[in-house]
Amino acid sequence: MQMKNLKKTDPQIYKLIKAEEMRQRDVLEMIPSENYTSLAVMEALGTVLTNKYSEGFPKKRYYQGNEVIDRVEMLAQERAKKLFGVPYVNVQALSGAPANSAVYFAVLENGEKLMGLSLAYGGHITHGHKLGLSGRLFKFAHYTLDEKKETLDYDEIEKQVLKEKPKLLICGFTAYPRKIDFKRFAQIADKVGAYLMADIAHIAGLIVAGVHPSPVPYAHIITTTTHKTLRGPRGALIMVTEKGLKKNPALPQKIETAIIPGLQGGPHDNQTAAIAVALKEAATPKFKKYGQQIVANAKALAEELKKYDFDLVSGGTENHLILIDLRNKKVNGRVAAIALEAAGIVLNYNGVPGDTMPPLFASGIRLGTPAITTRGMKERDMKKIAAWYNEAIKEVEGWNVPKDDNRFDKLTTREKRSSLMKEYRAKIAKNKKLAAIAKEVRLFCTKFPVP
C-alpha cells in the first residue's frame, strides 16, 4: 500500500503501519484466528463509505442520504444468504462478541440459562464465562470434553443438558481441533426445547469450502466472524435458519432490536462493503480449493509435530487448528509462545484439557494454518515448519513457572512467576539459536508473498 497522504500527514503512524507490514511479511503467522485479507477487501475498507452514518436498517434509516448504503448492505445480506443457504442474515454486528451478545438478548431474559463448552476446554469467553457479559446477565452452565479422548462426549453432554435445561445451547468453539456433529447437538437441544446456536467463527470458511459439515439444517441461529477462515474484514454475521424461523418467526426482528438500540448505534458501512467483497470471493471455486488446503496443511503439520513427540490434544486435527499440550516438554505455554515468536513463528499460548495453570500461564499453545495457506504454503512445507517448532522448544525445555500453591499466598506465587518470566524473556532475547531460526524463517517467507 502506497499511503502517500498518510506518510505526509502523519509520518509516525505511517512508519508504524509499515513496520507492521514488515512484521507480517517476515514471520509465520500461525494464530488460527488471524489471516490476511485480499487487497480488494482492504480497498473496500478505505473508501468514502466510512464518512456515512446509517443508523437503522435498509429502507428504515434514521438518517437521510442512505440510498447507496442500503444497496451495499442488502448486497452483503444477499451474498451471505446465498453462500450459507439461510433465509435471514444481519451484517451489522461489529465483531463476534457483540454478535453473540445480540443473540442472547434476542432469545433470553435476564436470569435465564445458556450453556456452552467450558473456557478451560476450548470454549469462548462469550459463551457464559462469569467475567463476560453473558456470565453477568444470565445464568450459565458448561459441558466439558471426555478427559481421556479430549473430544466431545455427546452422550455426556446430553445428560448435562437434560439436567441443566438451558434455554440456549451453544456449539462452536475457539480451541477445538475436531469436527462438530451439529445433528447430534440439535437432537440434544430439541429434547429440552432449547434454541441451538452454532458459533462458527473459526470454521465458517471451511464450511463454505465443504471441508466441515454445515450447521444450517440443524441450528436455529448461527453466528460467525468474517475474518479468520473467511478472509474478510473484522466483522460478524448473525444468521437465522429455516428451522429457527419455524421455532420463532420473530427471531429476525428480535435480533435487529438487540443490535440497535440494544448494543450499537450505526453500523460501519465501509466494513459492510468489505464483508460483501469477502463473501463474493468466498463463493468462488478458488476459495473452495483454499479451504481444502487449509485442512490438508493442518493435518500434515500435525503428523510432522507428532514425530517430535509433541502431545496434540485429541491426537490430531480435522480442521484448521492444532492444540499442543506442552506439559510433557516441561515448558510453560506462555514461555513457549515467547520463544517461538523470537524464532519468527507467531501463535498464542492456550489452556488445554485438565490444565492446572491459570489462563495467563496456560500449559499449551494454539496454532493454525489459515494465514500460511493464504501465502501459498503446502503440505511439503509443513515438515520444515515442524522442525523449527522442535528446535525452538528445545531451547526452552524445562522452563516452567510455579502453579498456585496453597502453602503460599497468591502474591508470593505471582511474584515468583513475574521474576521467572523476566529472567526467561531476557534469556530468549539473547538466544542465538532462536535468532538463527528467525533468520531462516524470514528467508523462507520470501518465497511466499503476502497477498
- pLDDT of 282-320, one tens digit each? 999 999 999 999 999 999 999 999 999 999 999 999 999
| Of 127-136, 252-261, 356-365, the least confident | 127-136
Please give the average per-residue pLDDT across 402-414, as a whole number.
68
| The pLDDT value given to residue 433 | 98
Give yes or no for residue 155 having a pLDDT over 60. yes
Query: Which segment, 26-40, 104-118, 142-156, is predicted with the most confidence on average?
Result: 26-40
Judge whether 228 counts as a catalytic residue: yes
Please give the average per-residue pLDDT across 243-259, as a whole number.
97
Distance CA 99, CA 225 (A): 8
**The domain boundary residue, chosen from 254, 282, 310:** 282
Q: How many domains does the chain divide into?
A: 2
* 120 and 231 both lie in a single domain: yes
Give yes or no for residue 147 having a pLDDT over 90. no
Give yes or no for residue 405 having a pLDDT over 70. no
Give yes or no for residue 439 having a pLDDT over 80. yes
Residue 185's Cβ-count burial label (10 Å; 0-12, 13-18, 19+) is buried
* 117 and 253 both lie in a single domain: yes
| The pLDDT value given to residue 403 | 80
CATH number of the domain that residue 57 is part of: 3.40.640.10
Range of the domain at 234: 45-282
Flag whether 322 is in a domain: yes
| The pLDDT value given to residue 119 | 76
Give the active site residue among 184, 234, 306, 425.
Answer: 234
Flag whether 30 is in a domain: no
- pLDDT of 14-49, one tens digit each? 999 999 999 999 999 999 999 999 999 999 999 999
Judge whether 14 counts as a catalytic residue: no
| The pLDDT value given to residue 128 | 67
Judge whether 234 counts as a catalytic residue: yes
Give yes or no for residue 95 having a pLDDT over 70. yes
Please give the average per-residue pLDDT across 238-249, as a whole number.
98
Q: How confident is residue 334, by pLDDT bands cut at 50, 70 and 90?
A: very high
Q: How confident is residue 409, by pLDDT bands cut at 50, 70 and 90?
A: low
Flag whether 35 is in a domain: no
Please give the average per-residue pLDDT across 77-87, as a whole number.
99
* 314 and 208 both lie in a single domain: no
Give yes or no for residue 351 having a pLDDT over 90. yes
* 185 and 250 both lie in a single domain: yes
- Which ranges of 209-284 would DSSP assign to H, the alpha helix? 242-247, 251-257, 269-282
| Torsion angle of C-alpha atoms 272, 273, 279, 281, degrees rounded to 10 | -150
Judge whether 199 counts as a catalytic residue: yes
The residue ranking higher by pLDDT, 137 or 45, is 45
- State what percent of residues in the chain have pLDDT above 70: 97
Q: How confident is residue 420, by pLDDT bands cut at 50, 70 and 90?
A: very high
Q: CB of 3 within 8 A of CB of 14?
A: yes
* 426 and 278 both lie in a single domain: no
**The domain boundary residue, chosen from 282, 315, 343:** 282
* 359 and 266 both lie in a single domain: no
Flag whether 22 is in a domain: no
Q: Is 258 helix (H, G, I), strand (E, B) or coil?
A: helix
Flag whether 427 is in a domain: yes
Flag whether 404 is in a domain: yes
| The pLDDT value given to residue 2 | 78
**The domain boundary residue, chosen from 259, 282, 305:** 282
Distance CA 171, CA 161 (A): 12
Flag whether 187 is in a domain: yes
- pLDDT of 178-200, one tens digit each? 999 999 999 999 999 999 999 99
pTM here is 0.94
Give the active site residue among 14, 34, 52, 53.
Answer: 53
* 231 and 335 both lie in a single domain: no
Give the active site residue among 61, 178, 228, 334.
Answer: 228
* 308 and 440 both lie in a single domain: yes
Distance of CA 77 to the CA centre of its chain: 22
* 253 and 291 both lie in a single domain: no
| Of 130-134, 156-160, 330-334, the least confident | 130-134
Give the active site residue among 199, 256, 325, 395.
Answer: 199
Give yes or no for residue 129 having a pLDDT over 90. no
| Of 114-118, 122-126, 407-411, the least confident | 407-411
| Torsion angle of C-alpha atoms 259, 262, 267, 268, degrees rounded to 10 | -110
* 353 and 396 both lie in a single domain: yes
Judge whether 104 counts as a catalytic residue: no
Distance of CA 422 to the CA centre of its chain: 29
* 205 and 291 both lie in a single domain: no
CATH number of the domain that residue 435 is part of: 3.90.1150.10
* 356 and 402 both lie in a single domain: yes
Flag whether 38 is in a domain: no
Give yes or no for residue 343 having a pLDDT over 60. yes
